Amino acid sequence: GAAVSRGRPHLVRSPQVLVYDLLFGKGLKCGGRWKALARRHRARLEAELARMKVRHKVSRNEDLLAPEKAVSTAASQVPRYVRVNTLKTCVDDVIDFFKRQGYAYLGKAASVEELKALSGKKFLLDLHLPELLVFPSQTDLHDNLLYTSGHIILQDKASCLPAFLLGPVAGSHVIDACAAPGNKTSHLAAILKNKGQIFAFDVDPKRVATMNTLLTRAGVTGCQLAQQDFLTVDPRDPKYSRVTHVLLDPSCSGSGLVTRGPGEEVAPSPERLQALAGFQRRVLNHALSFPALQRLVYSTCSLHQEENEDVVQAVLQEWGSAFRLVTAFPSWPCRGLAAFSGAESCLRASPAETLTHGFFVAVLERCKEGAAAPSFLPAAAKENSQPGKGMEPGAAPKKRKKKKQRVK
């Protein structure tokens, strides 16, 4: 009351602010009876905080934040990740190029802390992915010759995980079910060394056109890109009889993305999450119905259990013993939420723990040949549906047989 009576109401601090400073901030900066009162109850406040973390099954204070807020607070720490496009060059040549541009190469990272400490014109080789370079977060390479020529792809580390974990061998037939904007598709092509066949689908004509341009720039061949809803693709079509791998990254809430602007951090409503999860279950069921399928990766850029572990659990239950979860990247620090037995086989990523966008990945494999499918038709593979118009990415620069193309 003294501050108000002296005409200084801005000096009055609410009890909530004082408690925040005491438990989460840099200590109490005020004095007098407020400081004494807060200190007198400090033990009780800390005990209640500990009980709250136990109730929510978290170990860190920041994990008590709403998922979207937790992402926002850690966004500034996410580095600039650069995937080397091995269809057109190699890691050593890209490192040499950046060194000639004045960047200092610090070698392979040994920990996430090393990535977090990057600053200035310094870069590292990622500690998990062999073709991923890491730069400070503010590094802008959109006008760099390596990017404009398709020799490097600006792609978040978490977004590189699905194709990496799918791991098809050269010559495989692969489906990228919800493919736009195409970074994962070009990553698949690089893993396949442009040997084999990729069937990529997206329903939006503008995104398909953009994707065609991106794949051409990346030197991708052997990819049939179709403007088509994946749910209308018939798994029984002989065209897909050799498809052994599917990458499925369906529409989601996007709650894990750290690049969203102000006003986009509003959590989706329960109704919205329910609708998304319903679509995700349908499309995952459909993807599993391809007869020659051996391995599938399901991924989202969502933080919500409803779109991640719950979807995987529901679909696995529907397919019985036909498919099983495979432990994705055992050395990865973030695992799936304990929503069901075996959920730790799934993988999660977050700005705070892995210095990436928020992400979820599950790897499913067929248990045995000829395993029975569910009693229902998993997706709307319509007999009379008209397939979308397929297109091949335009002619791309040919790769040298003996040595990767080098940018000078």
Chain segment 300-318, per-residue pLDDT in tens: 999 999 999 999 999 999 9
Catalytic residue among 160, 252, 301, 346: 301
pLDDT in tens, 323-350: 999 999 999 999 999 999 999 999 999 9
Q: State the CATH number of the domain containing residue 100.
A: 3.30.70.1170
Same domain, 227 and 347: yes
Q: What is the pTM of this model?
A: 0.76
Same domain, 328 and 216: yes
Same domain, 292 and 359: yes
pLDDT in tens, 156-199: 999 999 999 999 999 999 999 999 999 999 999 999 999 999 99
Structure confidence at residue 398 as a pLDDT band (50, 70, 90):
very low
Q: Could you tell me what percent of the chain has a pLDDT over 90?
A: 67
Amino acid 190: pLDDT: 98
State the average pLDDT for the chain: 84
Structure confidence at residue 76 as a pLDDT band (50, 70, 90):
low
Q: What's the rounded mean pLDDT across residues 275-286?
A: 97
Same domain, 130 and 44: no
Residue 214 lies in a domain: yes
- Please report, for residues 20, 143, 153, 154, the alpha-carbon distance to residue 150 in angstroms, rounded to integers and kept in the order given: 48, 11, 7, 10
pLDDT in tens, 77-98: 899 999 999 999 999 999 999 9
Q: Looking at this protein, which amino acid is placed at residue 345?
A: S
Same domain, 270 and 356: yes
pLDDT at 263 over 50: no
Same domain, 113 and 258: no
Q: Could you tell me what percent of the chain has a pLDDT over 70?
A: 74
Enumerate residues 6+ apart whose C-beta is below 8 A from 214: 181, 182, 183, 186
Amino acid 21: pLDDT: 65
pLDDT in tens, 19-56: 766 666 555 555 667 677 777 777 777 777 777 756 66
* Binding-site residue ranges: 178-184, 202, 229, 249
Residue 374 lies in a domain: yes
Strand order in the sheet with 104-108: 104-108, 122-125, 132-135, 80-84, 152-154
pLDDT at 150 over 90: yes
Amino acid 385: pLDDT: 34
Amino acid 332: pLDDT: 96
Same domain, 309 and 353: yes
Amino acid 347: pLDDT: 97
For 137, the domain range is 75-156
Q: Is 232 exposed, middle or buried (0-12, 13-18, 19+ CB in 10 A)?
A: middle
Torsion angle in degrees (nearest 10) through CA of 63, 66, 68, 74: -30
Same domain, 273 and 132: no
Of the given ranges (67-76, 132-141, 201-210), which has the lowest mean pLDDT?
67-76
Peptide bond into 351 cis (omega under 30): no
Amino acid 31: pLDDT: 60
Residue 81, strand partner residues = 134
Same domain, 383 and 318: yes
Give the pairing of strands 390-391 and 223-227. Answer: antiparallel
* Binding-site residue ranges for S-adenosyl-L-methionine: 178-184, 202, 229, 249
Amino acid 374: pLDDT: 45
Q: State the CATH number of the domain containing residue 212.
A: 3.40.50.150
pLDDT at 384 over 70: no
pLDDT at 225 over 70: yes
Same domain, 217 and 96: no
Asked which of 14, 35, 64 is the last residue of a domain, the reply is 64
Q: How many separate domains does the chain show?
A: 3
pLDDT at 234 over 50: yes
pLDDT at 10 over 50: no
Residue 309 lies in a domain: yes
Residue 399 lies in a domain: no
**Annotation marks residue 334 as catalytic:** no
Alpha-helical runs (H) found in 102-234: 112-116, 145-148, 157-166, 183-192, 205-217
